[in-house]
Each structure stands twice: as C-alpha cells, then as structure tokens.
Structure 1
Amino acid sequence: MGRVTLREVADRAGVSLKTVTNVVHQRSVVRPATRDRVLAAIEELGYRPNLSARNLALGRAGTIALVVPRLDMPYFASLAMHVLEEAERYGWFVLIVQTRGDAEAERRVLAGTFPQRLDGIVFDPIHVSAEEIRDRADTTPLVLIGEHRAEGVADHVAIDNVAAGRTVVDHLVGLGRRRIGMIGASLDTPEDVRRDGYLAGLREHGLPVVPDWVRPVPANTGEEGAAAVTTLLDDAAGGEVPDALFCSADWLALGAIRALVTRGLRVPEDVAVVGFDDIPYGRVSTPTLTTIASARDEIARAAVESLARRLAGPQPLREIQAGFELVVRESTVGRG
C-alpha cells in the first residue's frame, strides 16, 4: 500500500484539500467540527505527513539544534529526551551538539557554524558573554536555557536558581543546621545564581559566611566533589567543620558523601548533604540524596515553543521561568 495522500484525507472527510492543509499545519481558520472530522479521517487512513515536503513548503530546514556542555551528564541526557519529544510535535528533527564547556566551541555556535541549515538553536552556554550573544552575526533564532544570565539578548528559559538556593538553606536551617557550606561555588565569581541563593539564605537566617566552607570545583563530577570535601576537612585540621553541605550538582553531592563517610563522618547525622538536579543515581544511593529537581519537561517545552514563536514573526524577548521542587530524602533527614 502506498503513502496516504492529503487528497484521500480530504475525500474521506468530505472537505477541500485546502481545509485539510490548514488542519495539518495547525492553522486556526478551520471550524472545530470540521477540524475534528479531518483529524478522524487522518487517524482512520493512517496519514503521516511528509515532513521534508512540509518543511520545504514552509521554507524551513526542518531541524533545530540543542547545544549543551556535556551529554554524559544525566541532567543533559534527560533534557535532550524532553527536547526531542517537544520538537517532534512541531515536525522538527534535533541535531544534538556538545561544547564540553569550551569557550571557543560556544563562540562557533554563536557564529552559526553547523553542518546544515537550522530553524533554531536551544543553547546552554557557560562562557560566552551577553554582549557576544547580542552581537552575533548569525540570524538563526536562538533560545537560551540554564543558569547563564543574558537578559535582553535572547529568550531565556530557566528555573529561579536563587530561590532554589534559598530553599535549600531554609530546609537545612529547619533541621537545626547552622554551619552550612557549599561545594561547587566561589565567593570570587561574579556570576553564580545558585551561590547567590545560598548566600541570600544565610543572610536571611543571620548565619555567617565562612569562606573556607565555600569550595569551587573545576568540573561537576563525583571525583571533584570528593576532592573538594577532602580538602575542606584537611584544612580544618581538627577545627570546626560544616554540619551541612549544599552542592551545586548531584554528582558533587555524591562525591561529597563518599569523602565524608571515608573520613568517619555520618550522613546526615554529622553532616547533611543536598544536591541539585535530581539525577536517577541519587534516588538509589546510600543514603538517598536530597536534591532540587527542576522541571526539565517545562524547560524543553518552553524552549521549543519559543523557537516556534520566533519563526512565526518578530516577538518581544522573554524571561521564562520553569518550576522546581525540593525533594527530601535520607541525606538530610535520615531513614525516619
């Protein structure tokens, strides 16, 4: 049996070919009852659109790019899955690119250096500045995701990381913790929204910021989390250490837990630990990991929808906020 055509759908629904085309292209000029009849005919006949022909007719490439720092991180793998699902709703294929956090690779993204023409780019940058994004010569529609602050230069989809950081501190203080450190942050970095939330939470509760308890890492890996905590404990040399740690990524938190346990400290009895991202491994670790879970499905949906809006015509730039929640597990409250 050959491919079902739009003409066959029109004949089955008893409408014109133009009406079927309007339904397939999701145009709002069709009456609801007529649209339902056409959709029923599409389902009955098993019509599947020829995406290449459709995109050609619309003057589109039919492909968008998702650009992230690392695909081997569970957060980005999960995000990619949601972007693929959302893009399929718009008839887009997704080209997935990783920059490995390299500044020059990010600049090549801004320059439009891709092997094919694209309808849009969903980009999670680390290094490029707002000015570089604003001044890029490439005109491909761009939507930013993640923590990078670039207000007024592109649509941006992210959770409220500052509020999330405050939520973590509120949780720890509510458990009676008063010596709260942070792994994966620096007091000297001008832009770090999760750290800013941590500092705001300490201020709101009248708690001190102890510089030795705030430790940067070169990468968000378990090894680096363990190394940062080991160094923190070594530097304390028998003095006071934190009774809670907020880690800016779950991998760091899992490494931190290993370092604490290796040094004879109990989690959470001696030191409570909170991560960020809700990766699957934290749900089965010992102890299971308390973490901030961001709504990755919301982020993907808003980012892809923003690209579709931009293709439809000029639009004002938007800051779009996705949801998050604190998922409380054993690393802060024990087994109960």
Structure 2
Amino acid sequence: MIPAGGRVISVAARPRIKDVAEYAGVSPKTVSNVINNFEHVSDQTRAAVREAIDALGYRVNVAGRQLRQGRTGMITLAVPELDVAYFAELAKHVMAEADRRGRTLLLHSTGGVRERELAALHGFDAHFSDGVILSPLSLLPRDLATRDRRLPVVLLGERPAAGTTDHVGIDNVAAAREATEHLLSRGRRRIAVIGGSVRGRQGTDRLRTDGYREAVAAAGLPFDEDLVTPVHAYHWQDGARAAAALIHRDTSPDALLCLNDHLALGALRALHEAGRSVPGDLDVMGFDDIEASRFSVPSLTTVAPDKEQIARSAVSLLLDRIDDPESGSAQHHVVGHEVMVRESTGG
C-alpha cells in the first residue's frame, strides 16, 4: 500500500503502468504517451506521471515491448579481430551505447574471412539479432547489392560500395593527408607508408595512401612507390618486419607513416633494436589512438578517430533502420578525427 495524494493505493511487487496511472490520477494510455515522449501531453500531466514513476520505482519492460513488436532487443557487432586494440576499444563504446539505448550487444569476430563476413551480413541465417553493425575487410560490392534488405546493417571502416548500405567512418584521405603534412612540417622528406597500397580496390589502405600522395604532391615532392610498403596483416610483427627492411635500404626513409598503431608500435621496437633513435633518426606515426600508444616509449603520435562518436552514430543509424526499414536511401556519416602529436614526432 502506497500513499498517493491523500489516497492509499495497492501496488504490485513490480509496479505496472496501471499502478503509475492510478498514482498520477491519469489513464494508462497517458502514462504510455509520456514514456514514449509523445508531444501532445501537458507539462503538468507529464510532471505528474514522472513523479509517479520515480515514487513507485517503475521500469519500462523493454523485453516485453520488443517481443510484442517481433524483435529480440539484441544487436550484433561483427569485427575482424577482438584482440586488435582498436576493435576492442570500439566494441566497448558500442556496448555502452547499446546499453544506454536499452539493447543487448552480441559480439562476433569474423577474422576478416569473407564467408564469415557474409554470414554476419545475412544475420547468420538466424533470428536472434534485430540488426548488424559490421566492420568488413573482404566483402565485395556485389555482396551488398544482393543482401537481404529486411535485416538492417550498418558498415564501419571498409565500404565496398557507396550508397547501398548505411555507413559510419572517418575521412581516411583527409586524415592521412593531415598526418603526412605533420611529418612534412618537421622537415621529413622520405616518408615511408607501412601498410599502404597503390593498387587494388579502394579499401582503407588505398584511401590512406591516397591522402599521403596528396600531401606529398602538395609539398612539391615526387611520389616514390618504393616507399609504400604493403603488409600481410596489421599486427605488431608486421610493422616490425617492414620497419627493419626499410631502414636497411641504401636510401632509407626519415619517417614512417604506419596505417595503424599496431604497425607503428612494432616499428618502434624494430628501430630500437637496430639502434635508431625516434624521433632523432626517424619520426614514427600511427593511426587509431589505441590506449597503448600513450604509454609506449617514446609515446606515439597518431591519428585519433572519434571512436565514441562512431559508436553513437552506428547504433543510432541501426536502431532507426530497425524502427523503420523503409526510411529512405543509405546514409553515410563522417565522424571527426584529430592528429595527436606525441614524443615519436617531437611532441
């Protein structure tokens, strides 16, 4: 029994909408309108309902609402590798945003394998998830063109084809251009790109290499394709091997632009073992601003994408599609980035 404005009402162990309605002296429909933020409710009534919600400790039954709508209340995040720090940090932000929006997040690692990315793109042929946020490495444009449109999908990072599926990412060309400009401003002229590519499809490696080329051209320097060093994978050891090979050339570089922080941190280790000082002999720069970049010796200059905003935008886009699958053409959200200058380039 709970007192309510001079009355005493009986409330169930777990308060229901009708209990809130009785406490506030309104109809259950009015309580529902306030919970769903409908506009046509007076401020006085809205305040009375919210007071009743707080007084009774009422909580919205999200699971029940989702089941009534034929949904699970769960969304999936599929990334190439959870043991790569960037994806782990991104997953943390996506999980926090999903929780804030009343959803449960399922995590899946594809390994960058096309078959597993296709399985994620099609919802794993199951019905346990209302939508998928996918960071692909191997998907082809035709994969997106033939996907089942009934399953909402938001892409991160790689975008195999423009205009077919909702997408969130940074401007990779601009980010790499700014990173290269920073190195050029320090007098570096032979800047190698570890993880870069000048051929093949327009993936992240190509886009970042294009940004590098734009900055080099704007500085009046010739583009030397030999300074662009592809790697097998974007792991610590790949960066170490590439850096070791580059510094033993007859004309070695004076700076390394590494296309993720794992490559850059591996390169720092190789340079240390070779007796090369950073930033004395070479500058080293990374991408992603993972937590380890702040604690390396020297600390790593890197491009920091706004991972929290990527998560917010991706979850918001996905939930909008879940609520209204036919809500218009695919959207492309560009999220901000920042060059974080640290000790590896003299900061």
Q: Same fold (TM over 0.5)?
A: yes
Q: Distance in 2 between matches of 1:140 and 1:32?
A: 38
TM-fit CA distance, 1:138: 5.5
Aligned equivalents of 1:291 and 1:178: distance in 2? 19
Counterpart AA for 1:199:
R
Alignment of 1:247-286 (within 5 A): 247-286=258-297
Deviations 1:55-94 (A, max 9, x none): 1223322111111111111111111121122222332111
Alpha carbons of structure 1 residues 36 and 274: separation in structure 2 relative to 1, 3 Å: farther
Among candidates 338, 341, 346, match of residue 325 of structure 1: 338
| Structure 2: runs of 5 or more not aligned | 1-11
Task: Report the Cα offset of residue 289 of structure 1.
Answer: 0.4
Contact 1:118 1:140 (C-alpha < 8 Å) held by counterparts: no
Over 3 Å counting, the alpha-carbon distance change for 1:163 and 1:19 in structure 2 is same
The whole-number CA distance in structure 1 between the counterparts of 2:39 and 2:119 is 38
Shift of 1:115: 4.6
Aligned partner (choices 219, 223, 227) of residue 233 of structure 2: 219
* 1:9 Cα offset (Å): 1.9
- Tell me if 1:199 matches 2:213: yes
Q: Match of 1:104, as an amino acid?
A: E
Q: Do structure 1's residue 46 and structure 2's residue 48 form an aligned pair?
A: no
Report the Cα distance in structure 1 between the residues aligned to 2:146 and 2:164, rounded to whole angstroms: 9
- Residue 89, structure 1, aligned to residue 117, structure 2: no
Q: Is the 8 A contact 2:122 2:151 kept in 1?
A: no
**Equivalent position to 1:172, from 183, 186, 190:** 183
**1:27-73 deviations in whole A, cap 9, x for unaligned?**
44434443343333323322222222111223322111111111111
Runs of 4+ in structure 1 displaced over 6 angstroms? none
The DSSP-based 3-state class of the residue aligned with 1:265 is coil
Other structure's SS at 1:203 match: helix
**CA distance in 1 between partners of 2:13 and 2:50 (Å):** 20
Shift of 1:97: 0.8
- Report the counterpart of residue 5 of structure 2 in structure 1: none
CA distance in 2 between counterparts of 1:26 and 1:56 reads: 21
Could you tell me the percent identity over the aligned residues?
44
The letter of the residue matching 1:221 is H
Stretch of structure 1 that moved more, 5-14 or 36-45: 36-45
Residue matched to 1:62:
73
- What residue in structure 2 maps to residue 122 of structure 1? 133
Residues 153-192 of structure 1 mapped to structure 2, 5 A cutoff:
153-191=164-202, 192=206
Contact 1:212/1:232 (CA < 8 Å) preserved in 2? no
Task: Confirm or deny: 8 A CA contact 1:249 1:277 kept in the other structure.
Answer: yes
2:145 equivalent in structure 1: 134
Residue in structure 2 matched with residue 102 of structure 1 by the alignment: 113
> Post-superposition shift, 1:168?
0.3
User: Which of residues 67, 72, 87 is equivalent to 1:76?
Assistant: 87
Q: Distance in 2 between matches of 1:75 and 1:83?
A: 12
Question: What corresponds to 1:112 in structure 2?
Answer: 123
Could you say what the CA RMSD is over the residues aligned between the two structures, in angstroms?
Answer: 1.8
TM-score by length of 2: 0.90
SS of equivalent residue, structure 1 residue 113: helix
For structure 1, the residue ranges without an aligned partner over 5 or more in a row are none
Give 1:164 shift: 0.2
Q: Which moved more, 1:41-50 or 1:262-271?
A: 41-50
Pick from 147, 154, 157 the counterpart of residue 146 of structure 1: 157
